[in-house]
Structure 1
Amino acid sequence: MLKVKEFPNLQDYIGQTLITTNGLTLLGADDKAGIAEILAMLRYFKAHPDRNRGDIWVAFGPDEEIGRGADRFPVEKFPVRYAYTVDSGRVGNFEYETFNAATITIEIEGTSVHPGTAYGQMVNALKLGEEIDAALPKDEVPEKTRGYEGFYLLNKFTGSIDHATLNYIIRDHDEEKFETRKQTIVEIIDEINGRFANPRLYYEMADQYYNMRQIIDQYPNSVKLAKDAMEKIGITPNVQPFRGGTDGSKISLKGLPTPNIFTGGENFHGQYEFITLEAMEKTTEALIEMVQLAVKYD
């Protein structure tokens, strides 16, 4: 059940047409709503061919939630100066800064012997894993950070005495701090390995995406256009650093600046997700206005 006591943001939608899940699965406000809103915008222009506009290019991509949606996006076949993803939260949200993101998987080889004869022989992989986590800054975790503050997230920790696996995601908006975070966790691994005659810890680290602002700043009209369109239809833009990534993160780094605009939904990534019909209509109205204003920015 959606209760105001748990979700006070519901009070912002009194009198609107609430769309919810059945409580067993996700709704799709993230991001079937975005697809519906884009199609509604296209339908509007098809019904009003007299409206002043340029060409409209649209793409729908799969697998955004697992971070691979834009890997094969063919920027060279999308002939525009800038684009937008429709994949954010409540009405007014607008993001053009994302995290720099990396993931690291650490494998730990232990030595399991009978505890009665373990002295000087046992190497507990689980304890070494706990030691890694304890060595990281305890307040630099998602539940204690906000705004531009980065974090380490222990995403998965499994194993036994003889073998353990840890997976972390590493996030920071600042590129220099991002590199420092990666180096910090590598130094912890190296320090623990240095106690043994042979390495016990092995890792694989990979960057996932980067802060798109470095590209967006080169195309200020991509930001101005969206803000002006919102203000023209009575929406106050809520510009915040996005504590995550969007397909636009990767697409921007491919050379096509792609900020992220709202869908109108709330409580994403869970069965408490919801959206209202009125918020979806407002998103479509914003997209229509953006298309019409774009002609003036040419």
Structure 2
Amino acid sequence: MSNLDTRPQPKVCGGRGFVVAEPVRELLSPRHLRLGESTEVRRLLPNLGRRMIGAWAFVDHYGPDDIADEPGMQVPPHPHMGLQTVSWLHEGEVLHRDSLGSLQTVRPRELGLMTSGRAISHSEESPKSHARLLHGAQLWVALPDAHRHVEPHFEYHPDLPTVEAPGLTATLLLGSLDGTTSPGTAYTPIVGADLSLASGARARLPLERDFEYGVLAMSGEVVVDGVPVAAGSLLYLGCGREELPLRAESDASVMLLGGEPFAEELIMWWNFVARSQEEIVKAREDWTKGARFGEVKGYDRAPLPAPELPPVPLKPRGRVR
């Protein structure tokens, strides 16, 4: 997955100085952007109001889109470093290729997890023969300093553990929830779960007091801690919670995203997560020269060119502004 902004701005993220240490109800509205040729996404993180939730540093929601007569998602090869990408679908399929030689079709409620580590490149596309609808989320997890130079690797987990309650099924993408743990590799204390709620369901989800949380509404009508959250919106919840009340006004689905507040300050630009602007400049140079990030074979179009860096130096702005 790629940030396809043609003029991406460096952002300083992370650090504990701007973490809300108590429960809040902060509704974040998305920016609407194009991803590839025919997919529009709603970007929730980084947001004008908040840049991270735990180690979650990037969240796009897309669909449901009718792509019966369209090519669907078409994202040419592009680089990543310092992060993990999480592909999560409710409808449709995405074909993942990467510079390690991975070739995997990811389907609904299956986890495609790519750890970029020091450097990797990949592409994403709807298969030529694909389902009518495409609906999902694309997310990044920032890697802590101790692990940001690990060897790149790709994980595919088609069968994920679930937590059941009356009217609710929670599927674990990353981390742990209510004693159940995902097989996906995590490098920080984190949780990512997809919650399916039946119409009329009321539930109270157990949380970790030291985590900060957000809820991304995927579909349906859901009320989170008394706040109606429309599909494509994200409710930031702060820290200090032991449980989260949920109420479904219709069949609905949301993603719970949380984790221990990320202590390190990061610089995010385009598809790179780093600790200094010099690292960003070097990564851009390496991608432009065809070095370090490898080659994605089998995608029939040219790789994405790197945007121009902004002419002004980076100005730290923290987790919120």
TM class by shorter chain equals under 0.3
Higher normalized strand content (fraction of residues): 2
TM-score (norm 1): 0.26
Q: Which of the pair has the greater relative contact order for Cα pairs under 8 Å at 6+ separation?
A: 1
Rg larger in structure:
1
